[in-house]
Amino acid sequence: MHPMRDQSLQAKTVLVTGSAQRIGAVLARALHAAGANLVLHYRNSGAAASELAASLNAARPASAVTVQADLLETARLDRLVETARQAFGGLDILLNNASSFYATPLGELTERAWEDIVGSNLKAPLFLARAAAAQLTAARGLVLNIVDIHGLRPLQHYCVYSVAKAGLIMLTKSLARELAPHVRVNAVAPGPVMWPEGVTAELKERIIARTPLERAGTPEDVARAVLFFATDAPYVTGQILAVDGGRSVGW
């Protein structure tokens, strides 16, 4: 990640949801390396979030804070934005990364699964954007959503997840109009980047075989796209950037 250390986000504040582990932690480190102050949201992974914050603060003192929240409790989302304001004076970028992801075969689908998956992937980003709108408008900031290529093409047995990500893609475009002209809203749609638990070697091989670049991506590939929107795209809004090795066109 060292090539990203250009300090182009110096004095900017970024709220990253689901930042304690996996892609969220990589995105947080990349944004921090570019100079940003971080508000690290977590739901259950308190120890991992604290460890990440400690490492970031060791590199640059007083540059990262943590905040715990269940994003399904929309009435409490204002607290995340207030944490950014109190710690760093405002908010420049909202990065909606948190996501519930698990199979929901139609015959086993429950209303609770619907509420969890749609809640984390679609409802929470909407209400967080609403909570952050005033701060982002003042900063002429950015909302950046992590979507999925399966919001464009459904993943078998993951009906609810695919629907939720499709909704987040449309939310990205809708918010780009609602929050214009002072706030940009874009999304990154990863493909095979970090394999979820339970994916067999056979399935991995099959997915890679259908990917034009014939390899899986890395979290750093997603981070580069995030940094592009955050630092080098002042005239880009309402756009979805696939970071998928061409899988969305090759399939």
Per-residue pLDDT at 4:
44
pLDDT band at 6 (very low <50, low <70, confident <90, very high): low
Q: What is the pLDDT of residues 57-116, one digit of tens each?
A: 999 999 999 999 999 999 999 999 999 999 999 999 999 999 999 989 999 999 999 999
CA-CA-CA-CA torsion sign (207, 23, 31, 173): positive
Which tokens in the block code for residue 242?
């696939």
Query: Could you tell me the CATH number of the domain that includes residue 113?
Result: 3.40.50.720
pTM: 0.94
* Predicted pLDDT at 121: 97
What pLDDT shows up at residue 202? 85
For the chain, the average pLDDT equals 93
Q: What is the rounded average pLDDT of the residues 43-48?
A: 96
DSSP-derived secondary structure for 152-193? TSPPTT-HHHHHHHHHHHHHHHHHHHHSTTT-EEEEEEE-SS
Give the pair of three-digit tokens for residue 4: 């990203």
Report which DSSP code applies to 102: -
Q: Is residue 101 within a helix (H) or strand (E), and if so which, with residue range?
A: none
Indicate if the pLDDT at residue 2 is higher than 50. Answer: no
Domain that holds residue 190: 2-250
Domain tally for the chain?
1
Is 235 labeled as catalytic in the residue annotation?
no
Q: Does residue 1 carry a pLDDT above 50?
A: no
For the segment 174-217, what is each residue's pLDDT rounded down to a tens digit?
A: 999 999 999 999 999 998 888 777 677 887 888 888 899 999 99
* Res 178: pLDDT: 98
Can you give the pLDDT at residue 165?
Answer: 98
119 close to 113: Cβ distance less than 8 angstroms: no
> Computed over its alpha carbons, how large is the radius of gyration of the chain?
17
pLDDT of residue 107: 93
Nearest Cα neighbor of 25 from 223, 227, 245, 188 is 223
CA–CA distances in Å: residue 182 to residues 129, 134, 186, 216, 217: 13, 10, 13, 36, 33
Q: Which of 102, 158, 161, 235 is catalytic?
A: 161
